[in-house]
């Protein structure tokens, strides 16, 4: 469920919508225990007082029927009633919230006449469950989570524990306590292992006892002695696994309750780890298409580049560069900066790079490429735009000849052999914002050992100091470049990165891209 999904709450004769986040905030500040359930009786919100009073509550799950008689009361809307819970008399109000949702609010608590004593081990098991929940919450991948579940449960919940998770092609992976590496096996058959097969399919609820014949039919469970229980891990209903727990001397009521509570935490942890793995696979797929390619070998050129996205979950950003070798041994090169950063900027970055790659097959003039790219971006009606320097390089009699064009990007810098740094001023229009754009162009000749630097404003606008108001600036970039006469392109890039790192310190950074094109000496 989305945290911002609107839910209907009664407000006199009209209906108002509020977000689940707002409900959580209201409940957190309420006096006394408050629990909110959705139309399917799952707990969606519970404040600290409620979690303390009803320790078996799990967000996203229906309350266990044995946890409290409160959640089995068929009360009339907005009714108040009294009941006994764990030796206390509770005065409770149920309120309808609309859409099948309702809340329970404990208005008053009083010690009962004959307070029920806590069961032996209850406080210890509560500490165990809290610690287990914290340890599992820190894990983000399925193998480590499954292994941790198996190890945590022994010896508190059983003598041996196996976590069983289905995998494709009719197989399962399993993790056993005391065994560092997982195993693989065929998925249990309903004909020989009906209890475990039903649990893995999500067809049963609660703990079930496996027969000795069923245990013996699975070689990877055959070492489990005593009573063997299976607790399903239902996930979102499709069945994501099962816990298999053995104990030599059986279970008392308290231990059984703790096992069920632990299984609920294990279920959430495995489901969360699956989501993280799906997320990371998606990120890796995006990065494969969006991160810069390895630089090609261009005859007569010494190339180097650096790319650092701003901090964020994608690991990609709005800055980009590319070099594409052509059949005649010339090469297209470009460096740009999409407006903004993060996922939307990264998506436009990929679109720009792929569009340029396609257009380069039919148009090799850099200025014409920018005009065509401008038309493509306008046709998509995107609200974002990009700045860019594009060029072509090819060997010339003096070293390398560069044809450069620019669309609103910081000017390229040329380092001459005598240490002079020249700014190549090309005040073009932003790409993708105006139908009648202007992209001026010029030619630059690099003698052997001379270098042209393309960079994004993440370099010149890198900020220093505790208040982050002092920018690195183009004058500092020029100073660093002046000290790089005669150095290979890779060392020039390294020096610029070190200078910017020292300048920014621990301050946040924008996306950064740098490309150095040097004529081989």
Measured CA to CA, the distance from residue 447 to residue 518 in angstroms comes to 9
pLDDT digits (tens, 9 = 90+) for 130-170: 888 888 888 889 999 999 999 998 888 888 999 999 999 99
DSSP, residue by residue, 80-112: EEEEEETTEEEEEEEEEEETTEEEEEEEEEEE-
For the chain, where do the domains classified as CATH 3.60.40.10 start and end? Answer: 291-519
Question: Is beta strand 14-18 parallel, antiparallel or unpaired with respect to 7-11?
Answer: antiparallel
Measured CA to CA, the distance from residue 299 to residue 464 in angstroms comes to 39
Peptide bond into 155 cis (omega under 30): yes
Q: What angle do CA 326, 328, 329 make, to 5 degrees?
A: 70
Give the residue-averaged pLDDT of 272-277.
88
Please give the pLDDT value at position 276: 85
Number of separate helices (H) and strands (E) present in the chain: 12, 25
pTM, to two decimals: 0.55
Measured CA to CA, the distance from residue 465 to residue 43 in angstroms comes to 47
Q: Is the pLDDT of residue 65 over 80?
A: no
Residue 128: how many other CB atoms lie within 10 Å = 18
For the chain, where do the domains classified as CATH 3.30.450.40 start and end? Answer: 122-284
State the pLDDT confidence band at 14, using cuts at 50, 70 and 90. Answer: very low
Please give the pLDDT value at position 255: 75
Find out if CATH 3.60.40.10 is the number for domain 291-519.
yes
- The CATH class of the 7-111 domain is alpha beta
Do residues 241 and 200 lie in contact, with contact meaning Cβ atoms separated by under 8 Å?
Answer: yes
Do residues 376 and 391 lie in contact, with contact meaning Cβ atoms separated by under 8 Å?
Answer: no
Measured CA to CA, the distance from residue 41 to residue 58 in angstroms comes to 12
Do residues 145 and 273 lie in contact, with contact meaning Cβ atoms separated by under 8 Å?
Answer: yes
Q: Is the dihedral of CA 27, 31, 33, 36 positive or negative?
A: negative
Please give the pLDDT value at position 422: 96
Query: Span 122-284: which CATH code?
Result: 3.30.450.40
Please give the pLDDT value at position 236: 75
- Residue where the block lists tokens 């070798």: 325
pLDDT digits (tens, 9 = 90+) for 177-191: 988 889 999 999 999
- Give the chain's mean pLDDT: 83
Crossing angle between the packed helical segments 343-359 and 366-380, to the nearest 10 degrees: 130
Least confident of 110-114, 150-154, 476-480: 110-114
- Any alpha helices (H) in 6-121, and if so which ranges? 20-28, 48-53
Region of 515 please: left (phi>0), alpha (psi -120 to 50) or beta. beta
pLDDT digits (tens, 9 = 90+) for 422-436: 999 998 999 999 999
Q: Which residue has the higher pLDDT, 388 or 28?
A: 388
Of 113-117, 376-380, 401-405, give the range with the top mean pLDDT: 401-405
State the pLDDT confidence band at 67, using cuts at 50, 70 and 90. Answer: low
Give 411's DSSP letter: P
Give the residue-averaged pLDDT of 397-425.
95
Give the residue-averaged pLDDT of 246-254.
72
Tokens of 195: 């209890």
Residue 519 Cα distances to 168, 293, 299, 412, angstroms: 53, 21, 10, 15
Q: Is the pLDDT of residue 172 over 50?
A: yes
State the pLDDT confidence band at 383, using cuts at 50, 70 and 90. Answer: confident
Give the residue-averaged pLDDT of 30-35.
84
State the pLDDT confidence band at 372, using cuts at 50, 70 and 90. Answer: very high
Please give the pLDDT value at position 182: 92
State the pLDDT confidence band at 496, using cuts at 50, 70 and 90. Answer: very high
Residue 310 Cα distances to 202, 371, 505, angstroms: 42, 29, 14
Of 74-78, 235-239, 341-345, give the range with the top mean pLDDT: 235-239
Do residues 31 and 48 lie in contact, with contact meaning Cβ atoms separated by under 8 Å?
Answer: no
Do residues 276 and 282 lie in contact, with contact meaning Cβ atoms separated by under 8 Å?
Answer: no
- Residue where the block lists tokens 């089995």: 72
By percentage, how much of the chain surpasses pLDDT 90? 45
Measured CA to CA, the distance from residue 345 to residue 373 in angstroms comes to 16
Measured CA to CA, the distance from residue 150 to residue 377 in angstroms comes to 53
Measured CA to CA, the distance from residue 465 to residue 2 in angstroms comes to 39
DSSP, residue by residue, 186-218: EPPPTTT-HHHHHHHTT---S-EEPPHHHHHTS
By percentage, how much of the chain surpasses pLDDT 70? 84
3-class state of residue 37 by DSSP: strand
């Amino acid at each position: 469920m989305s945290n911002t999904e609107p839910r209907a709450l009664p407000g006199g004769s009209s209906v108002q919508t509020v977000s689940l986040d707002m409900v959580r905030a209201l409940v957190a500040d309420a006096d006394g225990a408050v629990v909110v359930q959705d139309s399917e009786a799952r707990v969606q919100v519970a404040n600290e007082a409620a979690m303390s009073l009803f320790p078996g509550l799990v967000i996203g799950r229906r309350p266990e029927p044995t946890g409290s008689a409160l959640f089995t009361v068929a009360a009339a809307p907005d009714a108040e009633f009294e009941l006994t819970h764990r030796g206390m008399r509770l005065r409770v109000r149920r309120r309808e919230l609309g859409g099948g949702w309702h809340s329970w609010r404990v208005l008053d608590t009083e010690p009962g006449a004959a307070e029920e004593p806590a069961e032996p081990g209850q406080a210890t098991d509560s500490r165990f469950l809290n610690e287990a929940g914290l340890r599992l919450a820190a894990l983000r991948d399925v193998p480590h989570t499954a292994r941790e579940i198996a190890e945590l449960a022994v010896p508190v919940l059983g003598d041996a524990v196996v976590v069983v998770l289905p995998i494709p092609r009719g197989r399962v992976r399993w993790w056993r306590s005391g065994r560092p590496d997982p195993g693989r096996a065929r998925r249990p058959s309903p004909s020989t292992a009906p209890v475990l097969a039903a649990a893995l399919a999500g067809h049963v609820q609660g703990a079930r006892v496996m027969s000795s014949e069923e245990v013996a039919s699975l070689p990877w469970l055959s070492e489990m002695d005593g009573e063997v229980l299976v607790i399903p891990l239902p996930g979102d209903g499709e069945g994501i696994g099962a816990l298999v727990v053995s104990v030599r001397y059986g279970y008392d009521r308290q231990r059984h309750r703790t096992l069920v509570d632990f299984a609920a935490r294990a279920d959430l942890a495995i489901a969360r780890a699956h989501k993280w793995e799906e997320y990371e696979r998606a990120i890796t797929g995006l990065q494969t298409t969006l991160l810069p390619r390895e630089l090609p070998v261009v005859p007569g050129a010494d190339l180097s580049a650096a790319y650092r996205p701003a901090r964020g979950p994608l690991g990609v950003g709005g800055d980009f560069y590319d070099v594409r070798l052509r059949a005649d041994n010339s090469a297209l090169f470009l460096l740009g900066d999409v407006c903004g950063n993060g996922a939307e900027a990264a998506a436009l970055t990929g679109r720009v790079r792929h569009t340029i790659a396609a257009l380069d097959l039919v148009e090799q003039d850099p200025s014409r490429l920018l005009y065509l790219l401008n038309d493509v971006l306008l046709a998509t009606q995107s609200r974002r735009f990009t700045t860019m320097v594009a060029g072509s390089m090819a060997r010339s009699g003096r070293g390398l000849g560069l044809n450069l064009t620019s669309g609103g990007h910081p000017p390229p810098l040329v380092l001459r052999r005598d240490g002079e740094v020249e700014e190549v001023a090309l005040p073009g229009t932003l790409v993708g914002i105006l139908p009648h754009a202007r992209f001026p162009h010029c030619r630059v000749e690099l003698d052997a050992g001379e270098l042209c630097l393309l960079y994004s404003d993440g370099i010149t606008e890198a900020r220093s100091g505790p208040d982050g108001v002092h920018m690195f600036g183009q004058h500092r970039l020029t100073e660093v470049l002046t000290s790089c006469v005669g150095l290979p392109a890779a060392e020039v890039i390294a020096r610029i990165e070190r200078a910017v790192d020292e300048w920014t310190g621990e301050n946040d950074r924008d996306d950064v891209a740098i490309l150095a094109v040097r004529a081989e000496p």
